[in-house]
A and B are shown apart, each in its own frame.
Chain A
């Protein structure tokens, strides 16, 4: 007699999680083995990985396709600069402060733009980002339209030496990526995450099972906005300079992020991570081509959407349903091998 049991782990996911833990240990030690340029590049990869994972939660799971997440990246940057330059807050205290501000600002924004459906919601988010950009350009205390730099004295509050500062910024970026991917993973495994997945698969059916669709989407929007704002604050703590056009750039903080998620595989946890790695390989090898590089990126995204909408990760795992992050439940005992 065979016993049936339900479990999320598979042999592959156990190996993957072990490999992930080893990789994380290696990455945490990077300040000791990597050069200055590599450290910077790795930090940037982690920041884009965070943005991509967050956009994927929003669009791939909650069906809220936003093309205006630069609103929160820019808000985070400006909150960091306002808190440190105007109010004299320590940069490390300003980071969580920015996150709280992002959550507080995103709630009324959501109330407004949730009135728009589908694709019109997307353009509505863009309008909000433009309003943010134009409003911050009016704030002369933060440099107006031309922008402002972070004072050296504030930067020195982080750590005394230059290499210590760079290591700290790197760990913050790594920590953020772990926090974001971990939070999204934990959220999707939770009761609310199951509700969210149900909404994604069939909104009407989910509603008839008693799921509060609006509230679930609202929660996802606010949490995503808060973490995106935190990411934005960290991005501009690395850049040390902010201007409205850089802070609210639709290309940098939304177009690239969408391409990363689409290329990697939308609606999976693995997709944005793989997409980020592919994106940075392409960027490091092709960025000299300028406009041609962006045309190619756009064309690749269109072809993937038309031919393989599940992205690279979808192609890799095929129909087997393989997961590196143990998310969906499987029944064991039906076949000899299980999974």
Chain B
């Protein structure tokens, strides 16, 4: 029964990883940009929520309403002012610029908040739990997982049922033709980054409520998100959710074997899937 429990907890953890991954997957799908600073932006969102909750004296759930538009606006400006200037055939400039951004965010957070671990206090809901048969499930992890499903369903809807989604898909297929059809590429990219950062804000706030965080953890969040994207298959949002769940389950099962194996076993499963199914389990587009 312990093992079943580990699988259930891992699945719920996977929801969080899928949210890390969704923002990454979105901007890669639209503009082939891999944002090395993605993990640090997740941590930045958690700190924005921390400051918001302290200043306003409200619950992190309420701060979410504030953090999402703040991060979305930040994403739009970041894309229009900085990242759009690096877009082109050469992958080096966007990679190195987002790498520099990652170092800047990490050290700015370090200077502002120190290296002490922080946590978003959500109150009694943090420890609330209910039993399904012999397994006890925390309310918080279930909320996180349900939010992840809702976020991915929402992104799926935006992509395939709205004018914005049509603009995203058109730009993704052929940038120059989309431009000829009257789409402003720079603006579409800005909106894609804004949407990605909105998802990142949600992911960051839930990260902060589930576990403690400090300025240095961004890199490994980027890696978890990236692994979920590759395991699920590039360009497939539901695949990304499956990838997150596989990664989460691999980590909790690994931790069950030996505490030191938690993160390691997730990486090993990722490398194994890369070896046997290089395009992921449910591929849709080419990398």
Contact between chains at A112 and B271 (CB < 8 Å): yes
B99 adjacent to chain A (CB < 8 Å): yes
Task: Kindly state whether residue A119 has any CB partner on chain B within 8 Å.
Answer: yes
Q: Take A116-B287, A127-B223, A130-B223 as given contacts and tell me if A305 and B97 are in contact as well, using a CB distance cutoff of 8 Å.
A: yes
A108 to B267, CA, bound (A): 16
Question: Which B residues are CB-close (under 8 A) to A118?
Answer: 34, 91, 287
Q: Does A123 contact B (CB under 8 A)?
A: yes
**Contact in complex: A123, B34 (CB < 8 Å):** yes
Contacts of B219 in A (CB 8 A): 126, 250
Q: Tell whether, in the assembled complex, residue A309 and residue B267 are in contact, meaning their CB atoms are under 8 Å apart.
A: no
Chain A residues with CB under 8 A of B278: 115
CB <8 Å contact, B95 and A120: no
Inter-chain contact B274/A116, CB cutoff 8 Å:
yes
Please state if A134 and B99 are interface contacts (CB–CB under 8 Å): no
| Residue from the list A127, A145, A255, A290 in contact with B99, Cβ < 8 A | A255
Q: Give the Cβ gap from B193 to chain A, nearest Cβ, in Å.
A: 15
- State whether the Cβ of B145 lies closer than 8 Å to any Cβ in chain A: no
What is the 8 Å Cβ interface bit string for chain B, positions 261-273, against chain A (1 contact, 0 not)? 1011001101100
Interface residue? A122 (CB, 8 A): yes
Residues of B68-95 contacting chain A, CB below 8 A: 82, 85-86, 91-95
A138 touches B34 (CB 8 A): no
Say yes or no: A301 contacts B260, CB within 8 Å. Answer: no
Residue in B closest to A115 when the chains form the complex, CB atoms = B278
- In the complex, the answer to whether B287 meets A306 with C-beta atoms within 8 Å is no
Residue numbers in B under 8 Å from A294 (CB-CB): 103-104, 106-107
> Whose C-beta in chain B lies nearest to the C-beta of A301?
B100
- Does A258 lie within 8 Å of B99, measured CB to CB? yes
Interface residue SS majority, chain B: helix
Q: Are A134 and B287 in contact, CB atoms less than 8 angstroms apart?
A: no
Give the docked Cα–Cα distance between A276 and B5 (Å): 52
Cβ of B275 < 8 Å from any Cβ of A? Answer: yes
Known: A295-B107, A305-B93. A122 touches B36 (CB 8 A): yes
Contact status B94-A301, CB under 8 Å: no
How many residues of chain B get a CB closer than 8 Å to chain A's CBs? Answer: 43
Residue B220 CB within 8 A of the other chain: yes
What is the minimal beta-carbon distance from A126 to any residue of chain B, in angstroms? 6
Interface centre among B99, B230, B271, B278 (most CB of A within 10 A): B99
Interchain nearest-CB distance for B47 vs A (Å): 14
* Shortest Cβ gap from B196 to chain A (Å): 15
Judge whether B227 is part of the interface by a CB distance below 8 angstroms.
Answer: yes
B205 CB within 8 Å of chain A: no
| Least CB separation from A59: chain B residue | B92
Interface centre among B34, B95, B227, B268 (most CB of A within 10 A): B95
Q: Which of B231-287 contact A (CB under 8 A)?
A: 260-261, 263-264, 267-268, 270-271, 274-275, 278, 287
Q: Is A169 an interface residue (CB 8 A)?
A: no
Q: Is the CB of A123 within 8 A of B99?
A: no
With a cutoff of 8 Å between Cβ atoms, the chain B residues found around residue A117 in the complex are 287
Question: Do residues A137 and B97 form an inter-chain contact, with CB atoms below 8 A?
Answer: no
A174 to nearest B CB, angstroms?
A: 29
Measured CB to CB, the closest approach of chain B to A26, in angstroms, equals: 34
Residues of B within 8 A of A (CB): 33-34, 36, 82, 85-86, 91-97, 99-104, 106-108, 110-111, 219-220, 222-223, 226-227, 230, 260-261, 263-264, 267-268, 270-271, 274-275, 278, 287
Q: List 16 A-B contacts (CB under 8 A).
A: A59-B92, A63-B92, A112-B271, A119-B33, A120-B226, A120-B230, A122-B36, A123-B34, A123-B36, A123-B223, A131-B271, A291-B111, A295-B108, A298-B100, A301-B100, A306-B86
What 11 new A-B contacts, CB under 8 Å, besides A290-B111, A294-B104? A120-B34, A123-B223, A124-B274, A127-B226, A131-B271, A134-B264, A138-B264, A255-B103, A295-B104, A297-B103, A305-B93
